[in-house]
Structure 1
Amino acid sequence: MKVVYEAANLIDAHLVRHALEAEEIPVFLRGEQLLGGMGELPLFGVIAVCVPDVVWPQARDIVQALPLGEVGAQAEEEGGDDFGWLPA
């Protein structure tokens, strides 16, 4: 198994997982079970999306094509702090 993506959080990991599984690539999420034991402190680099060595090049291409992190980058380019949230 090779790491194809190191996720910032569980949601990112599952988005990548579902995209790969849609292309019939088997996926293993390394570190998913550790999240409950970390407490309230955020740790980074804990969750990794892993695929078999044979399909790693194909999986890498799929992950690179995903729009991960583009919403935040687009908002920074526009100079706005408004992420579409409504006031409480």
Structure 2
Amino acid sequence: MNPRLTLRTLDNPIEANLLLGLLQQQGLRVWLLGEQLLGAVGELPAAGLLRLVVDAEDEAVARQVLADWDAATPLPEPGLREADDGSEDGAATLRPV
């Protein structure tokens, strides 16, 4: 059995499952540990219960995938462009072209 290493400790189960799927799409064997502990919040600390774990031999590739994910900036969908919605805070929204 290969030794396994913790890639990242997470608090958010949605983010944890998103990253799990991302790593699995790259063909990596990865596990999400601690998800069942979320039901014990209140009895256990609410933070740091989730861990993404990977085989030691895949660690470098997995860390690069996560680094690329962290560095990425989401792009708007094709056919959408930023539009000034006239709001006071100056926030732009996306609308169909």
Normalising to structure 2: TM-score of the pair?
A: 0.63
Q: Which residue of 2 aligns with 1:65?
A: 68
Question: Displacement of 1:40 after TM fit?
Answer: 9.0
Structure ID, larger Rg:
2
Question: Displacement of 1:45 after TM fit?
Answer: 1.0
Question: Displacement of 1:61 after TM fit?
Answer: 0.4
Q: Which residue of 1 aligns with 2:82?
A: none
**In 2, Cα distance between the equivalents of 1:33 and 1:67?**
26
Report the residue type matching 2:12 in the other structure: N
Question: Quick one: structure 1 residues 45 and 54, their matched pair in 2 at CA, closer, same or farther if it must change by over 3 Å?
Answer: same
Equivalent position to 1:36, from 36, 39, 45: 39
Number of aligned positions between the proteins: 73
Could you list the runs of 5+ residues in structure 1 that have no partner in the other structure?
72-79
**In 2, Cα distance between the equivalents of 1:39 and 1:10?**
16
Could you list the runs of 5+ residues in structure 2 that have no partner in the other structure?
75-88
Question: Displacement of 1:67 after TM fit?
Answer: 3.6
Q: Which residue of 2 aligns with 1:19?
A: 22
Higher relative contact order (CA 8 A, sep 6+): 1
Instruction: Give 1 or 2: higher helix fraction.
Output: 1
Normalising to structure 1: TM-score of the pair?
A: 0.69
Instruction: Give 1 or 2: higher strand fraction.
Output: 2
2:21 paired with 1:7: no
RMSD: 2.8
